[in-house]
Amino acid sequence: MAETLVFEVIRECERARWGRLTTAHGVVETPAFMPVGTQATVKGLLPEQLRQAGVQMLLANTYHLALRPGAELIAQLGGLHRFMGWSGPILTDSGGYQVFSLAAIRRITDHGVEFRSHVDGSLLELTPERAVEIQELLGSDIAMCLDECPPYGAPEIVLREAVRRTIHWAERCRRAQRRSDQAMFGIVQGGLLEDLRRECAQALVGLDFPGYALGGFSVGEPAELMYPVIALVTRWLPENKPRYLMGVGRPQDILEAVSAGIDLFDCVLPTRNGRNGQAFVPGGVVRIRNAVHRSDPRPLQEDCPCPACREFSRAYLHHLFHAEEMLGPILLSLHNITFYQRFMREIREAIAAGQFAQYRASRLAQYQAAN
């Protein structure tokens, strides 16, 4: 099947890559961070606000959209891009993360996963074929294979079974593809075990996906154990195809992953933390609910162009959260999205200038000092 996804590495700085990912709905400069729009919305923010913040690509979720409003309805209404008012590229997760996060309400077999809906208790069967069908109905630019994501600390026998099943499901997903304008990524599982990660990566590379994701991270493992495994896995993946680290989003983690050759990221941190009164700034986090900000006339971040920083003081933002006004979470979410997009642009510029190692060291030193 002909693929519409085109990926070009423009510049390398050691293992860090500045690239260009061309999709059916536009071009994404990488490394790039995708805000999470699980249910066809980035909570509290308009598509135009996301575009103004520099967002290039969004993530939505197969499991949640299949439950409500339903993939068939979205297709009837013109597809996910039109439904949510976002004209840029979209990546849809397959529901594999829900195999991990909703373990209490699912049953897994080689055939697929049966979920007992967290919304109304109805049964949702998600097989590899159905996961592909849903994503094709949604019309995303990049679809993910259905995979099994085990938790950190799972016994080796569980990890081995998850890798076997992930490879089997990837083969079935590849065979189920029908749309030529949607690229599919395979997902490398294997926990922190080198031999399992290698086995999974090599099997997926043999299926010749247009891109590859690293799943099963940020599921409870310490960061210092995650970094070396990421660095190993990227060495087993093709140089000419994009690499996506799923669900990992602390700025420190992004710096380490970019240095290992990762191109795409997503995480709920910017918006979830924003809704909870935490604003990302260079070197750390501002907890705007704290009493120290009650009369602070300064902006969150002096040089930030977002509305929260451009128009309002820390004192006002502090007031909004204590008054439980919805504008507070909206403004901090928008600030955090802006922060992440500026951060990724700085990373791309540092790679382009051949200065990424220096940039990484400088930013990590800021975070260490803050801690």
Q: What is the DSSP letter of 178?
A: -
* Residue 181 bears catalytic tag: no
Q: In angstroms, rounded to a whole number, what is the distance separating the alpha carbons of residues 205 and 197?
A: 12
Q: CA-CA distances (angstroms) from residue 197 to 157, 189, 284?
A: 14, 6, 32
Amino acid at 50: L
From the list 93, 147, 253, 263, the catalytic residue is: 93
Q: Which of these, 150, 133, 138, 3, lies nearest to 61 by C-alpha position?
A: 138
Q: Which of these, 22, 24, 23, 31, lies nearest to 253 by C-alpha position?
A: 31
- Copy the structure tokens of residue 7: 């990926």
* Residue 266 bears catalytic tag: yes
Contacts 24+ apart (CB under 8 A), 288-297: 288/314, 288/317, 288/318, 288/321, 288/328, 288/332, 289/318, 289/321, 289/322, 290/318, 293/317, 293/318, 294/318
What sign results for the dihedral spanned by CA atoms 70, 75, 76, 82?
A: positive
From the list 120, 208, 266, 296, the catalytic residue is: 266
73 touches 67 (CB < 8 A): no
Q: In angstroms, rounded to a whole number, what is the distance separating the alpha carbons of residues 100 and 216?
A: 9
Residues forming the active site: 93, 266
